[in-house]
Amino acid sequence: MNYYSLNKQAADVSFKEATIFGQAPDKGLYFPRTIPVLDQQFIHQIQSYSKQELAFRIMLPYVGNTITEEALYEIVAETIDFDFPLVPINTNIYSLELFHGPTLAFKDVGARFMSRCLGYFSIGQSSKITVLVATSGDTGGAVANGFLGVEGVDVVILYPSGKVSPVQELQLTTCGQNITALEIAGTFDDCQAMVKQAFMDADLIKHMQLTSANSINVARWLPQQLYYFFALQQWNEKKSFPVIAVPSGNFGNICAGLVAYLSGLPITHFIAACNINDTVPNYLRTGTYQAKNAMATISNAMDVGSPSNFVRILEMFKNNHTQISQIISGYSITDLETISTISQVFNTSKYILDPHGAVAYNALEQYLSNHQNQKGIILETAHPIKFPETLESSIGQLLDIPDSAKNLFGKEKHSVLMNADFDELKNYLLSR
């Protein structure tokens, strides 16, 4: 499998090169030259495979011969070594819980897969790779945990000061070792812009081997399609295949789901469930794409006004708005609607949604009200404990703290304060 730049001004590369470089020399995102089409017998027998065997079969064509099959099987087995349960909320809506990994967020899968691939590729290399990543919440913690202690790799995480939850901040600022957190006085879009500029800076490129662990990196992005296969493995509704509502910020997750769909996975429809950062819902409605400045919400990991991965969706469907809007519906949910949804679902079903899952639930409920013969799945992308104030006030009771979060609260935060200024970031990186 080769990968090409969406800017079409760079040579094709292997999976290894795309992973290490992160972004193409012409500043485009890498995209697989072909999307493998799965054998329909394999799809029909999906429930007979183990998670490990399924993940191995899905990822093998994308990796090609850059990793041995034995090593790839070990990588995927370690990547998904936790549960992905499909839990009924009511008769029409299920929740695929993606928060049972070590940092209680769906991004554990991509971060663990990428870290293990980079670890494999760095064997025998004399120079270190620096992973530079921006986070709006969960990416930072997942990347920190996934790369912690990986030889030959340093990690620098940029996050917006005061705009991530307390648990999220502790997860990315208490690791030490090869993990450094930069606390930026600005928004996630500022952090993302600084990271993108770093990859275009000639001095940094000359002196450092930089790569990104955001979902612009194919090794972070592509493993996310596994969620959708795990969902269909557990789908026992006989009359139809599910509508899947995806909490969407940078659009890597739903983009990976569309890859699974184009590979042959039977999904009826996708819902891009956004908060008030409605760049993509507006595009789906009007056909006009207009990036905006991000606005802060209680579903903070989705506070993105210029989603990096949407260009990949445009590529998949050759910029055809009609085709895109036929497979994806977009919804924009306010904070008040989010809080109301959390309360309503808890009161009727005793299920606790995190704010991102609540956005997806509200959007899916709206869609199903006009498609009453269908049923759907929301992707629950973060554990409720990451948002205690919002949830406890919404459901009227205290949350149980999982063991993996309890040990965070006694740790001391370590971060480097920095303005939203690329020159400050550049000087810092060159001085390391």
Q: Among all residues, which ones are annotated catalytic?
A: 107
> What is the sign of the dihedral through the CA atoms of 208, 168, 360 and 261?
positive
- 428 closest CA partner among 154, 162, 96: 154
Half-sphere exposure for 341 (CA within 13 Å, toward CB): 24
Q: How far is CA 363 from CA 334, 337, 377, 391, in A?
A: 11, 10, 11, 19
Tokens of residue 163, six digits: 């705009």
> Could you tell me which residues come within 8 angstroms of residue 148 by beta carbon, excluding any fewer than 6 positions away?
175, 177, 178, 179
List beta partners, residue 153.
129
Do the strands 243-247 and 376-380 form a parallel or antiparallel pair, or are they unpaired?
parallel
Residue 159, H or E segment: strand 153-160
Task: Find out whether 56 and 78 touch, Cβ atoms under 8 Å.
Answer: no
Q: Where are the beta strands (DSSP E) in 178-247?
A: 179-185, 209-212, 243-247
- 104 closest CA partner among 159, 55, 171: 171
> Could you tell me which residues come within 8 angstroms of residue 304 by beta carbon, excluding any fewer than 6 positions away?
136, 188, 189, 192, 249, 250, 277, 279, 294
Under DSSP, the state recorded for 298 is S
Coil/strand/helix, residue 160: strand
Q: How many residues does the chain have?
A: 432
For the sheet with 179-185, list strands across it.
Answer: 209-212, 129-134, 153-160, 179-185, 416-419
> What is the sign of the dihedral through the CA atoms of 57, 59, 64 and 68?
negative
Compute the radius of gyration of the chain from its Cα atoms.
Answer: 20
> Could you tell me which residues come within 8 angstroms of residue 405 by beta carbon, excluding any fewer than 6 positions away?
104, 167, 383, 385
Tokens of residue 80, six digits: 């998904």
